Amino acid sequence: MVMARIFGRIVLCNIRQIANIRIYPSLLVRTSPYVCFNKRFSSNVERHEFQAETRNLIDIVAKSLYSNSEVFIRELISNASDALEKRRFAELSGQLGEGPNEIRITTDEVNRSITFEDSGIGMDRSDLLECLGTIAKSGSKEFIEKNKDNAEAVIGQFGVGFYSSFMVADSVIVTTRKIGAPDENGLKWIWNGCVF
How does pLDDT run across 1-32, given as a tens digit for each residue? 344 444 444 444 444 444 444 555 555 454 44
How does pLDDT run across 127-177, given as a tens digit for each residue? 888 877 655 554 444 544 555 555 454 444 545 677 778 778 888 888 999
Task: State whether residue 180 is helix, strand or coil.
Answer: coil
Helical packing angle, 139-146 and 71-92, nearest 10°? 30
Residue type, 61: V
Residue type, 157: Q
Task: State whether residue 190 is helix, strand or coil.
Answer: strand
Sign for the CA dihedral angle at 34, 39, 43, 45 comes to positive
Helix (H) or strand (E) holding 83, with range, is helix 71-92
38: number of CA atoms within 13 Å, CB side? 12
Q: How far apart are CA 28 and CA 9, in angstroms?
A: 28
- Residue 110 — left, alpha, or beta (φ > 0 → left; ψ -120 to 50 → alpha)? alpha
Q: 166: exposed, middle or buried (C-beta count within 10 Å: 0-12, 13-18, 19+)?
A: buried
**Average pLDDT of the chain, as a whole number:** 68
Residues present in the chain in total: 196
| CATH classification for the domain delimited by 54-192, as one of 2.60.120.380, 3.30.565.10, 3.10.20.30, 3.40.50.300 | 3.30.565.10
Nearest to 58 by CA among 146, 133, 154, 149: 133
Q: How far apart are CA 164 and CA 162, in angstroms?
A: 5
How does pLDDT run across 73-119, given as a tens digit for each residue? 888 888 888 889 889 888 888 887 888 889 999 999 998 899 999 99
Q: How far apart are CA 53 and CA 193, in angstroms?
A: 12
The pLDDT value given to residue 62: 61
Domains of the chain: which residue ranges?
Answer: 54-192
